[in-house]
Structure 1
Amino acid sequence: MAVSFDLFGTLVERVDSGGDDPAARVAAELAARDVAVPDDWADAYRERHIDPPEGAEVPLPAHASAALSSRGVETPNNAARRAVVAAFDPEVRTRDGAVEAVAAAREVGPVALCSNCSVPELVGRTLVRSELSRDDFDAVVSSVGCGWRKPAAEMFETTATRLGVDPAALVHVGDDPRTDGGIEALGGRFVDVDDVPLPELPDELGWTG
């Protein structure tokens, strides 16, 4: 058996006070890099500018660049990427039982992080600021890295491949049945932390002796 964990909302929670308007956050960081933010930036940010295959991830810097380009604004020196990364620089709290749950899972088989995240570097920065570390996982798979978003089968298949198992052997722990529950279409098991809280997970799944 192999186990994968969702990150945001499952192992960690964001606690930063940057506000709930992502367009405004990105706009502030663009302006700080001398990018001329359009007056209708909020509208441009909400519009669809890239048409990916079903289930594919659109990296947020690519979306931001396309939104600016649609208004005739250029972004030299990788400014869109740098602005997006800065806009979502995380402050997080590790959820109760997260460290213990990951450690218990490692006792029964390989463990991965499997996270929907369209912001480059965000997963790594989040781990650095949490009580977990990259070394706690045999594989770290993000949607911005692999190109697919849960519930797309490709993301779970990538995770399983990196752990050296069949997707049907994967137990995926998450907080969103709509996305994390996609593992069930491949024969794997979804465990909802709303039903089985992290502190109860090792006993519930028989990971403790």
Structure 2
Amino acid sequence: MTVSFDLFGTLVTASTPADPAAAVAAELRDRGVIVPEDWGDAYRTPHLDAPDAAEVPLPAHVAAALRSRGVAPSDGVVRRAVVAAFDPAVTRRDGVAAALAAAETRGPVGLCSNCSVPELVPRTLVRADLRGRFDAVVTSAACGFRKPHPTPFETLAGELGGVDPASLVHVGDDPATDGGVETLGGTFVDVGETPLAALGDRLEAGP
């Protein structure tokens, strides 16, 4: 049994912009970028071909949306604007310490998060005082696909020493995404049904 965790909504709550397009536009303007008048439409329109369940990093999407309107700032400017737009206030959820302690008694512990924003996961871990608590961290942006696609779970299993993905017990808050571990034979633990503080008892009971 190897335990992994989702991040957002599972271990932490993190603020997100009420209007992501507007938040990104404000940060672009602060960096001297002329934002198209129909930016909302451009932001919400896919501009890059990608396979089903593939993760398009948000800076790449934003850059493509700007290019579609004839605006072409440097990749560095776009990246910094996106990172700033999604700079969150972070709160650790109740029971995190107990859940991690329970997981650590069973071997290496992983983190597997859907996230298209660069730097957001490591920044969140620092603010939640969770940096260094995981033996492997996999994000959808880094591995190229979003949960429930098998790739994030398979990548995590590989980075945790090549364990069998079927041995993963993945703890998360969203059956539609985190539950994807079950397609590999793994076990999904829903924090809506098993609070983090009770994870030790759930793990003791077995899959």
Aligned to 1:146: 143
Amino acid in structure 2 at the alignment position of 1:40:
D
Shift of 1:102: 1.1
The 4+ residue runs of structure 1 with deviation greater than 6 A are: none
Q: CA RMSD in A?
A: 1.2
Amino acid in structure 2 at the alignment position of 1:152:
H
Q: Secondary structure at the match of 1:136?
A: coil
Aligned to 2:188: 190
- For structure 1, the 5+ residue unaligned runs are none
Measured against aligned partners, the alpha-carbon deviations of 1:56-112 in whole angstroms (never above 9, x if no partner) come to 110000000000000000112611111000100121000000122012101111100
Give the distance between the partners of 2:49 and 2:3, measured in 1 at CA: 32
Q: How do 1:115-154 residues align onto structure 2 when only pairs under 5 Å count?
A: 115-133=113-131, 135-154=132-151
Amino acid in structure 1 at the alignment position of 2:153:
F
Change (3 A) 1:19 1:54: closer
Q: How do 1:176-187 residues align onto structure 2 when only pairs under 5 Å count?
A: 176-187=174-185
Aligned to 1:6: 6
Amino acid in structure 2 at the alignment position of 1:94:
R
Q: How do 1:81-96 residues align onto structure 2 when only pairs under 5 Å count?
A: 81-96=79-94
Aligned to 1:172: 170
Amino acid in structure 1 at the alignment position of 2:102:
A
Shift of 1:22: 0.4
Give the distance between the partners of 1:28 and 1:159, measured in 2 at CA: 35
Amino acid in structure 2 at the alignment position of 1:115:
S
Q: How do 1:67-106 residues align onto structure 2 when only pairs under 5 Å count?
A: 67-76=65-74, 78-106=76-104
- For structure 2, the 5+ residue unaligned runs are none
Which residue, 38, 63, 66 being the options, matches 2:64? 66
Give the distance between the partners of 1:19 and 1:50, measured in 2 at CA: 23
Which shows bigger deviation, 79-88 or 18-27? 18-27
Q: Please report the TM-score for the alignment, with normalisation by the length of structure 1.
A: 0.95
Shift of 1:142: 0.6
Q: How many residues align?
A: 204
Q: Is the 8 A contact 2:17 2:85 kept in 1?
A: no
